[in-house]
Structures are given as C-alpha cells and as structure tokens.
Structure 1
C-alpha cells in the first residue's frame, strides 16, 4: 500500500459535506472531535492507509487522503460519527485527483466558505493537518499540498481584498462607528448584553477602536464582570441602566430581549446618541428612534454594509483564482517530478558507486566535493527530464557526464 505508485495523485480523494447541501442539524451528525479523529486514523492504519487528514468545522466535515476509492474514506469517517454513510452520501461531494487538489486550494482561500473570504478557515486547516501529522499521517504529498495551499491563501490575503471588509454583524457595527464617528476612542460607550454577539462586539471594540472607555451591562452581572475583567473594562448592574444610558455617547444593544430595553424617556434630552441595535426583535423603543438627538442603526442597515462588502469580495474572486492557478501549476509540476524520484534515487546510488571505483575517482575535480558534484548532476538530470520527459535517456546521459567529468 505504501508505494510510490499508490501515492499517485489519481488515488487522492476528498469526500465531504458542507453548508451548501446540508443544514446545521445534518452537519452536526458528522462533526469530528479529536478522539473520533484519532480513531479514524487508527482504523485507517489497520487498512494500510497512512496519509489522511480530516477538516471538521461548523460549516463542513471533509476527509482527504490516499485510498483505493472514495467509499473507503467515507466509511472510515462515518464509522466514528453519529450519522451513517448513506446519510452522508446524500449530501456529499466527492472529488478525485486534481479536482480534489483544487478543492483544497479553494477551501484554504475562503472561496468555499459560507462567508466568502472567511480567513478563519486557515487556522482550522492548520490545526487539522497538525493533528494528522502528530499521528504520522502526513506524508510528502500532503505536506507539499498544504504548504502550497497556505502559500496561496497568504498571497490572496495580502494581494487582494477577498477577506476585506466586514465579516459579521458584530464587526460591521464596529466598522460603522469607525467610519462615522470622529475620535470614537474619546466617546463613552455602553454595551448591553454579553452573549456571543455581545462578546464578539466587545472584543472588536477594544481591538479596532483602541479604547477601554466601555461599560458592560448584562442581565447576569457575573457574566458582565467576567468579560470586563478579561478586557480591563468597567461593568455596571442592570439597576443602573438609566444612569449609564444617559452618560453614553454610543450604545450597542445585543440583549435579544422580548421587549425594548432602551426607552424614549431614557434618551430624550440626554445629548446626541448613536444607538446600534444588534437585536432581533428590536430592543430600542419605536418612539426613541424618532428623537432628534438619537440615531438608531439596526441589523438591516448593517446587513447593507455586508452586502457592499460581499460585492467587493466577489469582484476579487477572479484575482484569487488566478493566484490559485499559479500555485496549482507549481504543485502539479512537483507531482510530475515525484514520478521520477525512484529513478533519481537509483541514479544517485549509481553515481556514488562510480565515484568510489578506482577507475573514476580521479575524474572528479579536486576542488569539488563528491556530494556537490552528484547533486549538480541530479539537478541537471531532473531539469532535462522535466523538459524532455525521457528519463531512460537522461539516466544514461547523466552517467556519461559524470564519468567524463574533467579536472
């Protein structure tokens, strides 16, 4: 099984499901934790497979590797999941050879992400491959492939705007403040609600506005206190809401309360206020939204910002695909040269044997070491094979060149 012939690109597969054809409930049945991951690799080894990795995120579960057929990988994966192989196949995509390679490049670039250009996938991919490598399941092919994928992803990140702009409602809120508020770090900011969206919004405020002038209020004061402690911010109790609202210049609401938490009487006549309501239903009273001193931005307005970002990102897709094409071509060249590795290894052994023979040892220039000379011959031979694809003739030519080397 562990042969050069078997480790040919034609035996490389990816089988997976993602958000395009399966909902979160279905994807959840095929999510893989580290214990399940280790079990899959153990089972793979028992079947003679030794180059496999699994990428499992909230939006996808994919298994990559060399196998006799894709079904072998699907069975391995599903042997450890709550879902069965038949259910998996109903929503699965199966890719083979260069298509599987191209899929890996698209995933790594964020082109296949639910949020186009989502760069978070890079860290998830690195973690997935690192786990497989620690278990001894990353060979030369996978190592080279992932390095090329990461190189491509980095080039796309640095030379296009595919990952630019807003990537979530919480970040869109912070970007709105950055673009429309003069010197936002000098403003008093109040954040209501520290659930998932609230926490993300809070961290974005600290990271992108460079301010600690933020007060947190949550129904559970302990949660607000914990987050405030982590980020060195101030927190207050829900009982002091009216007082804190009056002092705030910018208010972000992420409470998801069934009833409005920001009322007209709390903000009327209390100075200019920007209120960003991230809640559905709205948590800012309708009457408060019509006050002359209050500007309210809701999730629909922020979604328009996301739409503009999406258009910008879509325009960058051709550039990203161009970069991928270049890196894929390099990877394909490397795969092609791998076919000649056995011959080049044999040539290296033969050259060393010739050098050791008394008849030829004097033909090597004294100023050169034998390793340097042999490597030059091997490099030249590999280059000629790449151009002419005549490995048998190049083998003989390399021996002749070595034998006839002059002082």
Structure 2
C-alpha cells in the first residue's frame, strides 16, 4: 500500500483547464464515490478550490490508480485523457506526504500563508470521512497534516503579516490608532479594493461607516451592507470632521481631497489623527495633505511596499516551515512503514497466543484444584513471559521496516514462525499414520 497525491493546480495548469475540473458542491459526493470505488484505491479524499483540484489517497497500485483517475476526470471534464495528462502531477510515498503537508500549511498556495486553504482542506477531509472514503491511514495522515499546519503557523508566524492591499491598509490603521472600535470610517467611492478594505475594517469592529459615491443609490446599497450611512457626494465635506479613517477610490482625474479641506477641520478635530488611504489611480488626494500635523496619507504604492515587505518575511518563514515539514514527513513515513509489518507481528502473536491457550488448558486440566484467582495469576505470568520474549524481535522488525529491503526482514520473520519448522507436530502426525497402518 502506498500514499499518493495527484491532480492539478495553479502551478501546473491554466485557469481554463482548472475551471473544467472544478467540482461544485452538488457534484462532490458523486465524484468522490466513483473514485473511491475504483478497484486499486483503498482510501481517497478530494480537495477542489479555485486554484487546485487534487486527490490524496492510499493505493496498492499507484500507476493503475492514476490511469483510472485520469479516465474518470476526463469523462467528467470533457478533456481528452492525453491532454489532461499534460497538466496532472503524481507524487508517491514521502513526496506525496510532503505535498499534502505543504498544502495544508498554505506553503503551496499562490499567496504563502493565506488562511483560506486550511478551512478548505479541513472541509474536504470532513466530507471524505462522512462518505467513509477515508479510513485509518488517511485519517491519521490528515490529522497529522492539520497538526503540522497549526505548528507552522504558531512557530513561524507565517500568516501574521498582511499580503493583500486591503488588509495592509487595516494593518497600518491599527499601527496609527491601536484600537479601532471608536473610529469612524468614510468610504469615498466604491472601488473594489476600497470596498474590501471597508469590509476588513467593519470586521475589525469600527464604530460607523459612512459611504459617499457620485451614484447615490450605490452608496445606499453599500452602506446597508455595513450597517452604515450613505452621504450624497455634494455633502461630503460636511462629514469630513467625523472621519478618523478615509478610504478613497473614485474615477476622478484630479484630487478631490486637498490640503485646504483638512486645514478647515483642524480645530474641529482637536489634534485627533486622520488616516487616509488613497487607492485611486490617478490619485484622488493631493500629496501636500501629508504636511498637516496628525494627517497620515498612504497611496497604493505605499501599501504595495508594505505588502512586498510582508511577502518577503513570509518567504523567510516558509524556509523554516520546510525544515519542520521534512521532520514530520520522516515521522509519518516511519509510522507507515511500521504499520506495514503489523500483519506479520499480529500473525506471530496469534501463534504465541494459541500455544499459550493450549498449554494452559492442559495445565489446568492436570491441576483441577486451582481456584479462579490462582488461574488468573498463572495466566498473567505466562502473558508477561510471552510479551517479554516477543518484545525484542518485534522492535527489531519495526526498526528494519524503516530501512531499505524491509520485505527481506519481514520474510525472514514470517519464515522463522512458519508451521513447517514444527517438527514435533509432523512427527506426531507420521507416528499416528504408522500406528494406523500396523492395524
């Protein structure tokens, strides 16, 4: 049995291919069931996001499983097998385990450290478990993957730094104000990034959000989403003194907010800081606004510098995470190899248990006067002797399972306890045959 990981992602396939393979919620169970019923696959889970469609599983013939998966996905997507094959990757054993750990830890994501993949990974496994498509081995692997993900996030801080323009704005706002719960936000314009920044601010618990847009209906619609207030564009400057954080994103060709606007409200603000994020291109806030004390203006290039710096820090954290993943892959691989020798160990222990039961039965028949407690003590002592005798060969086999040529040692172990070496039993059989022939 081997672990495998196969599929395609943003590194191996363009979006027009990925979208054909994407599995919607209503189709997920059907596709999962079809793949889990493939004869060479014992356990399987599917992860389908906008950036990847990947399958992780356990197989007794990975090449056969890969070909069967290709045919099934070809039928589902309408892509020819040969075309699909160009975009599909296939990892096995340690490479597969390492890939699964990287995905769960967001080291394989387009944006390193992004948190969404953790929830998507966990959700995909929950669905596979509910469908009984995963059992002991893959359950252990996914639990370990989530554990590795948590360990990487807490020990490397890989997801602490903002790597989106909108979230970088929030990070800067918190540096200026600290607590945002008593701050008012003015959203000027309804650009996508400005709207997203406002959403982040709303989730950070700001007091109130005002929205002003040239199209008033759009301002009303957006304000309703935030539980805020819409302001007519020509009334904008009346509300300027109320704003602690201003997000500007309009299509204007020249500055809307200028130095004189903030000079007018200086006394009203009584020295309270104003944080302005100008995401407009061209810029909608004049540079000289920054000359006013306690007014902090950042444009999209300033935010991009924050994002780039944070991305570099995440890349450094990712290098530390790779070392941790290598260690965890080695541990899981060792457990998996030791698991594969378990049948041989169980067979030997069952053999020892049969001998024990037979000998104790004979002993207790010869000593009928023993009470129940005495019999229990004798049985405990015999069990202890068997466990101590078998402990060393068991540990020896588990150790050899992690080395090369492990099958060689398993064969020797099983051969040692083969019935063919039980000469006394064979002699007893031959003696009985001889007595019958004499008669």
Q: Does TM, scored on the shorter chain, surpass 0.5?
A: yes
Equivalent position of 1:15 in the other structure: 6
**How far apart in 2 are the matches of 1:195 and 1:72?**
47
**How far apart in 1 are the matches of 2:326 and 2:340?**
22
The answer as to whether partners of 2:220 and 2:229 remain within 8 angstroms in 1 is no
Structure with a larger share of its residues in helix: 2
**How far apart in 2 are the matches of 1:139 and 1:267?**
64
What does the per-residue CA deviation read over 1:222-253, in whole Å, with 9 as the maximum and x for residues that have no partner?
53244223xxxx32234443323343132013
Q: Which of 30, 49, 53 is the aligned partner of 1:57? A: 49
1:46 and 1:147, CA in 2 relative to 1: closer, same or farther beyond 3 A? closer
Equivalent position of 1:359 in the other structure: 362
**How far apart in 1 are the matches of 2:310 and 2:147?**
24
Equivalent position of 2:428 in the other structure: none
Equivalent position of 2:113 in the other structure: 117
Matches within 5 A, 1:181-330: 181=177, 184-192=180-188, 197-198=193-194, 200-208=196-204, 210-217=205-212, 219=215, 220-229=218-227, 234-239=228-233, 240-253=235-248, 255=249, 257=251, 262-264=256-258, 267=262, 269-271=264-266, 273-279=274-280, 281-282=281-282, 284-285=284-285, 288-291=286-289, 292-293=291-292, 295-330=296-331
Structure 1: unaligned runs, 5 residues or longer: 1-7, 398-407
Equivalent position of 2:338 in the other structure: 337
Residue 83 of structure 1: how far off its partner (Å): 4.6
Equivalent position of 1:39 in the other structure: 30
Deviates more, 1:145-154 or 1:294-303: 294-303
Deviates more, 1:218-227 or 1:56-65: 218-227
Residue 270 of structure 1: how far off its partner (Å): 3.0
SS across alignment from 1:51: strand
Equivalent position of 1:180 in the other structure: 176
1:225 and 1:144, CA in 2 relative to 1: closer, same or farther beyond 3 A? same
- TM-score normalised over the length of structure 1: 0.79
**How far apart in 1 are the matches of 2:77 and 2:383?**
51
Matches within 5 A, 1:80-91: 80-81=76-77, 83-91=79-87
The answer as to whether partners of 2:191 and 2:250 remain within 8 angstroms in 1 is no
Deviates more, 1:300-309 or 1:358-367: 358-367
Size of the aligned set, in residue pairs, is: 380
The answer as to whether partners of 1:354 and 1:360 remain within 8 angstroms in 2 is no
The answer as to whether partners of 1:105 and 1:324 remain within 8 angstroms in 2 is yes
Residue 130 of structure 1: how far off its partner (Å): 1.4
The answer as to whether partners of 2:210 and 2:223 remain within 8 angstroms in 1 is no
Structure 2: unaligned runs, 5 residues or longer: 267-272, 365-373, 402-408, 418-439
Q: Which of 112, 135, 142 is the aligned partner of 1:139? A: 135
SS across alignment from 1:79: helix
Deviates more, 1:73-82 or 1:299-308: 73-82
SS across alignment from 2:264: coil
**1:386 and 2:401 aligned:** no
Residue 47 of structure 1: how far off its partner (Å): 2.9
CA RMSD after TM alignment: 3.5
1:144 and 1:205, CA in 2 relative to 1: closer, same or farther beyond 3 A? same
SS across alignment from 1:14: strand
Larger radius of gyration: 2
Equivalent position of 1:4 in the other structure: none
Deviates more, 1:37-46 or 1:302-311: 37-46
**How far apart in 1 are the matches of 2:375 and 2:191?**
76
1:353 and 1:260, CA in 2 relative to 1: closer, same or farther beyond 3 A? farther
SS across alignment from 1:155: helix
- TM-score normalised over the length of structure 2: 0.74
